[in-house]
Structure 1
Amino acid sequence: MESIRERLAVPPERLRRRLDPASLPFKTTAEVEPLNGTIGQPRALDAIEFGLDVQNHGYNLYVAGVPGSGRETTVRDYLGRYARTRPTPSDWIYVHNFDEADRPNAIPLPAGRGVQFAREMDEFLESARQEIPRAFDSEDYERRRREALAELGQRREELFRQMNEFAANRGFVLEATPTGILSIPVVQGRPLSPEEFERLPAEVQQEIRNRDAEIQEHVSRALRQVRQLEKEAAERVRKLDRDVVTFLVGPMLDDLRDRYQDCPEVVAYLEAVRNDLPEHIDMFRQARQPAVALPIPQPAQAQPDLNRYRVNVLIDNSHLDGAPVVIERNPSYYNLIGRIDYRATFGAMVTDFRQIRPGALHRANGGFLVLHVVELLREPFAWDALKRALVTRSIQIENLGEQYSAVPMARLRPEPIPLSVKVVLIGPLEVYHILYQIDEDFQELFKVRADFGPDMDWIDEHVQNYAAFISRRVHEWGLRHFDRSAVARVVEYGARQREHQGKLSTRLLDIANIVAEASYWAEKAGHEFVQADDVDQAIRKRRYRSNLVEERIRELLTDGTIMIDVDGEAVARVNGLAVLSFGDYAFGKPSRVTARVSAGRGSIVSIEREIELSGPIHSKGVMILSGYLRGHYGQHVPLAITATLTFEQSYEGVDGDSASSTELYALLSALSGLPLDQGIAVTGSVNQFGEVQAVGGVNQKIEGFYAVCKEKGLTGRQGVIIPAANVKNLMLDDDVVEAVRAGRFHVWAVRTIDEGIEILTGRPAGERGPDGQYPEGTVHRLVEDRLRRYAEEVRAFAAPDGAAGAAQVASGEESQ
């Protein structure tokens, strides 16, 4: 009769799925067309296509998946193709606002014409700077200036003549001084000195003062008329200058206006330049003194500064063929929305519209912006700035220092630029769920989610796609081509990464790394093409570079520092299996799980949970054990026990329920008194009905225990019990598969605790008969007998004359 170990043993051919190289329709990847696009992500591509085609507000995309799954490469390739079918967006320029200097105007121009307009404005200014001074140096200008001032000069001279005549008729002479015009009395044809004036009789002095007051009043009236003439002279000169400038620049501006008739905002700006430029002639010529002796006020000489008429080309799309695709890997606040730079001038920080700098939103406007959400959320204020731009559909450039200043400060306020962009966020699925729950704007702005799955089916089409991906990497990175045996190994490696015989990993970064490293080892070995052995060598070396911790722990297990037996039998002890992960490397580690039982009040205590080293999932697994005991035994006998469970020599946190079946086996052994085979390790979750459920990391767990058994010596009876549901996840190393094929190691797949306990003890678990009893000698009968004895002891000690004994039972003291 076939034993249960033989019946439940997993055959070697089911421990790892192989790909027959002969089934591949090529000899080397040199015959395979390189992959164009992505593989195994139809759901994600459908979502991306939908999100890009829908033009309604808020249909931005969130591309979710694990790093290395080809998210960014796929998005970049897809957007690159899609963007070429979209129209090229406008250029954007900033120009001076002649009405409000602190609010520069933003003007759109057809793609390529922004730089053209800036160049033409520079040429216009250069021509104006040459022609205007030449016009003011011409004889014609001097003649017209003299004519404009000649009449005013005559009128001024006539006023001075009248003043002098009026003073002379009253016995005074006028003298011009820096402080004004003085009137000096004249006696007998000569000016009267102050001393002589003081010696005159009082009545004569008074009479002279009266005449002087009359003269001063007349002089004041005349000087007012002179000042009015001077203002009129200055205005005539200014009008002449404006006319000259307007005459010179008018045709040039008309020519520009004609070339930009299709851009109304540019035409309006040119008209503003036409009106403003004559008011700033001193930018083009040096200040001049009047040709006549008139004290005409002249403005202070200014340094030529024509920048107010220049153009700041913010966005130049002349190089684009279609819409822009911008990938911003440093999405800080300023890199997103732009900034206003300042420059130091004479100890002060100044700025103007020419210092406005674009951000990623400006560059992507009219196209697509790709951001990594984790990088975005790390940057202060960046997430809010992005949302504000998408909600308002405009880009408002504001420096943070100005926004959060404690006092108002002078600043530029550039005109906002209308925003039309499709934003693609790339990030983990967990971040998507968090943002969806806590940020109501996120739900409105990112309505399309594209999920990149971690795997794809192992089918011929996807195997061929793996080969095409290898061919692409070979061409892009200059590697050696792979023969069909090497491609088959890479496909198997992809299945191992997903721990599934029917799936291949879509984390193409890992595949690309193995491809590159296998090519390296093929070169070292002198192989023309990469072979299967080169891929195996790359995998071994990759593991060797990362498994130092694994080797140190294995040494501790082998030399007895960490106590574990891989041979013999023991009661209430069983080898459990855990997976330790260190970044990019994970390995299996066996641990001894023990149980102790006594009469008590029906409680199962996990020592890890009591000292808070247990995570919630592990605690749940321990509580399930109570449900199992109640379901199997509590219907017939009181559960008058106290049990403790622990992972021996474990000093780190424990979580997960993959050890719950292991703990149950130890508990059943403690209750039944039956020893467990120490050459067998166990993994698997259990439910309250005793069904063994699938767990993760099954390959690492088996390989980890096999390595310890190999170090301590294989006996031919050692092996691992796994859930039957995990058989499809087996992609074991060749060394383990060959050991199983040779009978030196075993893997058993169980569906229930009954099957597992029979393998461990060599005793049948037992089923209740018609009388409601388990058969004699079975595991369940021995457990139930022990529980019944505990119940009787508790009842006896609980009698009135056994109070002390009851206290002893309640303390959980062992009575095994």
Structure 2
Amino acid sequence: MAGPITPLKPEALYRHCDETELPFQTTAELKDIHNIVGQERALDALEFGIGIRRQGYNLYALGPGGTGKHTIAFGFLHQRARSGPVPPDLCYVNNFDVPYKPIALRLPAGRGSKLQAEMRSLIDDLRVAIPALLESEDYRNRRQLIDEATKNQQAAVFEGLQAKAEPKGIALLRTPMGFAFAPVRDGAALSPEEFQKLSEADRKRIETDLKALQEELEEELRKFPQMERQRRDQARELDRQVTSAAVANGIASVRDHFRDLPDVVGYLDAVEKDIVDNADAFLPSDGETPAVPGAVRQPPAARDRFRRYRVNLLVDHTHQVGSPVIYEDNPTMPNLVGRVENLAELGALITDFTLIKAGALHRANGGYLMLDAQKLLTQPYAYEALKRALRARSITIESPGQALSLVSTVSVEPEPVHLDVKIVIVGSREIYYLLASQDPEFNDLFKVAADFDDDMPREEDAIQAYARLIATIGRREGLKTFDRGAVARLIEQAGRIADDNQKLTTRFGDIADLMREGDYWADKAKRDVIGADDIETAIDQQMHRSGRIRERSLEVIDSGIVLIDTAGSKVGQINGLSVLSLPNFSFGKPSRITARVRLGRGEVIDVERRVELGGPTHSKGVLILSAFLAARYASDQPLSLSATLVFEQSYGGVDGDSASSAELYALLSALSELPIDQSFAVTGSVNQFGQVQAIGGVNEKIEGYFDVCRHHGLTGKQGVLIPASNVRHLMLRRDIIEAARKGQFRIFPVETIDQGIEILTGFPAGAREDDGKFPKGSVNRRVEDRLIALAQQRRRFGAGDGAETGQEGRA
């Protein structure tokens, strides 16, 4: 076996950044850094995803918060977009044939606003010109002739009937109910009494004549609507003749500006026809002031009947430079694909094409749209609407109610718009893998993953780049300059955040927060340059602000409410270490783990699992140590023990396998009846071969136990056993390093359970000798002898319990 394990030297507990290796005095001497630090893989993916113009090659930028995903991706898109083409403007105009289906017009950038202005000016001009033409003396005379001709035609009908009726003693009379015939004598209509006094022959003759004349009257009156239609048609034709020249001249001036755009020319032709057909709509209505040149515009309500001629400019790229880059912070379905708004009028909701509003896809069309994954997925129907648009390569404006067929009211159905956009979704890895595994369409639509690293190698070039990044952030934020001591301390903290002394974190948001807080403390101390002490104060204050629960945890241990021993020796008892994670803060907490053994069927009972407080990873660790016991000590005989393992005073869930080595040490102590030195705490997982494996949160765990020991009083015997593979992750607090330097606290790196049990019990673990047995007095020999004794005892007890057949029971 290898020699005894010695505690780590103080130099191994923390990797310092040597100030002398930083070739500057303050960050004022450093130039800004323009390239992205530590994200080469993600940048390559961004460049590829943005560069390839194929369907489905949209991007998902994934990584932890604080790595600058949003900032980097947005900046990268802006850089690429500057050299991209400016997309066309988008307008919606009235469809005069099918009004509820507005027409989409795409015009070169800047010409949409020109069309809008030209149409506004045209209508304003015609509102003056057409009423002037329709109220001119010539028009009135011609209109009067048409009206008089109809009246004369109708009068001739009545005169003819009157001429037929007079010889028969009958007159045509106008009554409140219309026209009617009545018998007359001496120019006066006969009353009913007078009519009854006539002879029967006269009455019958008059009645016959009245019936014939009435039928003829009704026949003639049925011709009057046709006469009225002819009058209106003649009047409308007159209106066309009078206004067509003025309208044609106005439209021609607009058409000349858009001759190269056939869709616009077609729209203008439709406008010309509609205005000519509805010229009387330009006459002032009752109570409306006639339009005059230079007059102040009427309020919108007075101009509602001219809305049909407006141009709804949805997207205007007049001042756009390069391709658009849009970030939609509130990606609801209407904010993505657009919406149609409504107006309340006389208690009803009305709408038309002028109330169509653009969505983010419209504004980003021809460029880039950036979305936050969590915000997108938490908005009802937004993600599905986005996928529909990407699949169809077109934007269809619809409300959630329409999409779900919940709304049956008549609304406008805008013409879909062709979509050519690059989507960049920014979010966590968890959301990415969830979508990739659960949504079959996701991988077809988002083929490029830009994976942002949590950290970067701590190399010389990286350190120099990090220093320049600190200088750049400081200048951008308007902070004081940092001396090289402060920069060195920030780089060291970057290693601590990365949880690896060989790496630096790329969560630059955390570093920027420290810089801002360091600036605050320097300003409070009235220093012009931020130093290492200011950064140290900022770190301490961050921990203090978040440390209430940590302090309460120490308080209950100090008061003896939670039982933790930091001195003495106990059989089957050990201090395990765990990490409690809170938002933006984690701290270590020691827990007492105990083991008890007795005769049984080879069952190691995980109490946490039995009461459903243990997670699956913790249960896996217990099963692994059961397998280790059976393989090492009971390969040729039944494992005849019943053991219980428990986290004492644990009232919440327990998960993770980082305590499995501590549980195994406690179990070996209980079997060998050798006490474990309670001055130690243990962390590390174990495999079936007894190798101790790396765990997470090693710094927090060590610091948590150190704080308990310091409160109880440092004896020089206390320490922590950690996996040897975790040594590279050590970036401990300075007070722990100082205690280690004084010999008050020790940290032992162990690779195997045998190494750890020797430190904890003071007895050699022992390796099998040539005769296949462990040395006498060794821990392993004691464990094996105890298990053999239990097996023999079980055989003595055991008729019919399966022991003689070699069953090992449950493990």
2:675 aligns to what?
675
1:130 aligns to what?
128
Q: Please say if residues 594 and 663 of structure 1, whose CA atoms lie closer than 8 Å, have aligned partners that are also in contact.
A: yes
1:456 aligns to what?
456
1:105 aligns to what?
103
2:256 aligns to what?
258
3-state SS of 1:545 partner:
helix
2:356 aligns to what?
356
3-state SS of 1:661 partner:
helix
3-state SS of 1:4 partner:
coil
Q: Please say if residues 684 and 694 of structure 2, whose CA atoms lie closer than 8 Å, have aligned partners that are also in contact.
A: yes
The alpha-carbon distance between structure 1 residues 157 and 585, as it changes in their structure 2 partners (threshold 3 A), is: closer
Deviations 1:155-214 (A, max 9, x none): 555555444433334444433334343344455676555443332222233333444445
Give me the whole-angstrom Cα distance separating, in 2, the residues matched to 1:504 and 1:455: 5
**236, 245, 263: which one pairs with 1:247?**
245
Give me the whole-angstrom Cα distance separating, in 2, the residues matched to 1:165 and 1:436: 94
3-state SS of 2:619 partner:
helix
* 2:588 is the counterpart of 1:588: yes
* 2:470 is the counterpart of 1:477: no
3-state SS of 1:415 partner:
coil
Structure 1 position 322, deviation (Å): 1.3
Q: Please say if residues 284 and 304 of structure 1, whose CA atoms lie closer than 8 Å, have aligned partners that are also in contact.
A: no
3-state SS of 1:306 partner:
helix
Give me the whole-angstrom Cα distance separating, in 1, the residues matched to 2:434 and 2:154: 85
3-state SS of 2:321 partner:
coil
Amino acid at match of 2:506: T
2:291 aligns to what?
none
Q: Please say if residues 401 and 407 of structure 2, whose CA atoms lie closer than 8 Å, have aligned partners that are also in contact.
A: no
Give me the whole-angstrom Cα distance separating, in 2, the residues matched to 1:531 and 1:188: 126
* 2:422 is the counterpart of 1:435: no
2:71 aligns to what?
73
Structure 1 position 262, deviation (Å): 1.8
Q: Please say if residues 159 and 226 of structure 1, whose CA atoms lie closer than 8 Å, have aligned partners that are also in contact.
A: no
Q: Please say if residues 121 and 311 of structure 1, whose CA atoms lie closer than 8 Å, have aligned partners that are also in contact.
A: yes
The alpha-carbon distance between structure 1 residues 798 and 403, as it changes in their structure 2 partners (threshold 3 A), is: closer
1:409 aligns to what?
409
2:383 aligns to what?
383
Deviations 1:90-110 (A, max 9, x none): 111111111111111111111
1:313 aligns to what?
313
The alpha-carbon distance between structure 1 residues 637 and 134, as it changes in their structure 2 partners (threshold 3 A), is: same
Amino acid at match of 2:533: D
Structure 1 position 526, deviation (Å): 1.5
Structure 1 position 394, deviation (Å): 1.3
Q: Which runs of 5+ in 2 are unaligned?
A: 287-301
Amino acid at match of 2:236: R
Structure 1 position 516, deviation (Å): 0.6
Matches within 5 A, 1:538-557: 538-557=538-557
Give me the whole-angstrom Cα distance separating, in 2, the residues matched to 1:256 and 1:373: 46
Matches within 5 A, 1:549-568: 549-568=549-568
1:295 aligns to what?
none
Give me the whole-angstrom Cα distance separating, in 2, the residues matched to 1:149 and 1:638: 119
The alpha-carbon distance between structure 1 residues 349 and 407, as it changes in their structure 2 partners (threshold 3 A), is: closer
Structure 1 position 726, deviation (Å): 0.5
Q: Please say if residues 637 and 784 of structure 1, whose CA atoms lie closer than 8 Å, have aligned partners that are also in contact.
A: no
Structure 1 position 694, deviation (Å): 0.6
Deviations 1:14-47 (A, max 9, x none): 1111111121122211122233253111111111
The alpha-carbon distance between structure 1 residues 187 and 723, as it changes in their structure 2 partners (threshold 3 A), is: closer
3-state SS of 2:456 partner:
strand
Q: Which runs of 5+ in 1 are unaligned?
A: 289-301
1:298 aligns to what?
none
Amino acid at match of 1:79: L
Amino acid at match of 1:652: G
1:299 aligns to what?
none
TM-score by length of 1: 0.92
Give me the whole-angstrom Cα distance separating, in 2, the residues matched to 1:509 and 1:355: 42
The alpha-carbon distance between structure 1 residues 799 and 306, as it changes in their structure 2 partners (threshold 3 A), is: closer
Deviations 1:475-510 (A, max 9, x none): 222111111110110011010011111111111111
3-state SS of 1:369 partner:
strand
Deviations 1:68-100 (A, max 9, x none): 111100111001111112111111111111111
Q: How big is the alpha-carbon RMSD for the aligned residues of Structure 1 and Structure 2?
A: 2.5
The alpha-carbon distance between structure 1 residues 232 and 594, as it changes in their structure 2 partners (threshold 3 A), is: closer
Structure 1 position 700, deviation (Å): 0.9
Amino acid at match of 1:104: P
Structure 1 position 143, deviation (Å): 2.9
* 2:270 is the counterpart of 1:272: yes
Give me the whole-angstrom Cα distance separating, in 1, the residues matched to 2:187 and 2:454: 118
Deviations 1:727-756 (A, max 9, x none): 100011111111111211111111111111
**21, 26, 35: which one pairs with 1:23?**
21
Structure 1 position 558, deviation (Å): 2.1
1:518 aligns to what?
518
The alpha-carbon distance between structure 1 residues 559 and 190, as it changes in their structure 2 partners (threshold 3 A), is: closer
1:45 aligns to what?
43
* 2:134 is the counterpart of 1:139: no
Matches within 5 A, 1:779-794: 779-794=779-794
1:693 aligns to what?
693
Q: 449-458 vs 389-398, which deviates more? A: 389-398
1:497 aligns to what?
497
Q: Please say if residues 96 and 104 of structure 1, whose CA atoms lie closer than 8 Å, have aligned partners that are also in contact.
A: yes
Give me the whole-angstrom Cα distance separating, in 2, the residues matched to 1:493 and 1:248: 78
Amino acid at match of 1:691: Q
Deviations 1:506-544 (A, max 9, x none): 111111111111111111111111101111000000000
1:292 aligns to what?
none
**180, 195, 198: which one pairs with 1:197?**
195
Q: Please say if residues 283 and 303 of structure 1, whose CA atoms lie closer than 8 Å, have aligned partners that are also in contact.
A: no
Structure 1 position 656, deviation (Å): 1.0
Deviations 1:53-77 (A, max 9, x none): 1111111111110111111001110
Give me the whole-angstrom Cα distance separating, in 2, the residues matched to 1:796 and 1:224: 123
1:114 aligns to what?
112
Deviations 1:653-698 (A, max 9, x none): 1111111111111111112122221111111111111111111111
Q: 142-151 vs 619-628, which deviates more? A: 142-151
The alpha-carbon distance between structure 1 residues 303 and 360, as it changes in their structure 2 partners (threshold 3 A), is: closer
Amino acid at match of 1:417: V
Give me the whole-angstrom Cα distance separating, in 2, the residues matched to 1:303 and 1:580: 67
Structure 1 position 587, deviation (Å): 0.9
Amino acid at match of 1:459: E
TM-score by length of 2: 0.93
Give me the whole-angstrom Cα distance separating, in 1, the residues matched to 2:391 and 2:704: 54
1:740 aligns to what?
740
Give me the whole-angstrom Cα distance separating, in 2, the residues matched to 1:540 and 1:446: 43
Q: Please say if residues 602 and 809 of structure 2, whose CA atoms lie closer than 8 Å, have aligned partners that are also in contact.
A: no
3-state SS of 1:721 partner:
strand
Structure 1 position 3, deviation (Å): 6.9
3-state SS of 2:564 partner:
coil
Structure 1 position 769, deviation (Å): 1.3
1:395 aligns to what?
395
Q: Please say if residues 601 and 809 of structure 2, whose CA atoms lie closer than 8 Å, have aligned partners that are also in contact.
A: no
Amino acid at match of 2:103: N
1:296 aligns to what?
none
Give me the whole-angstrom Cα distance separating, in 1, the residues matched to 2:809 and 2:310: 91
Q: Please say if residues 247 and 276 of structure 2, whose CA atoms lie closer than 8 Å, have aligned partners that are also in contact.
A: no
Give me the whole-angstrom Cα distance separating, in 2, the residues matched to 1:703 and 1:286: 85
Q: Please say if residues 572 and 595 of structure 1, whose CA atoms lie closer than 8 Å, have aligned partners that are also in contact.
A: yes
Q: 397-406 vs 328-337, which deviates more? A: 397-406
Q: 769-778 vs 220-229, which deviates more? A: 220-229
Amino acid at match of 2:553: I
Structure 1 position 403, deviation (Å): 4.1
2:726 aligns to what?
726
Q: 567-576 vs 146-155, which deviates more? A: 146-155
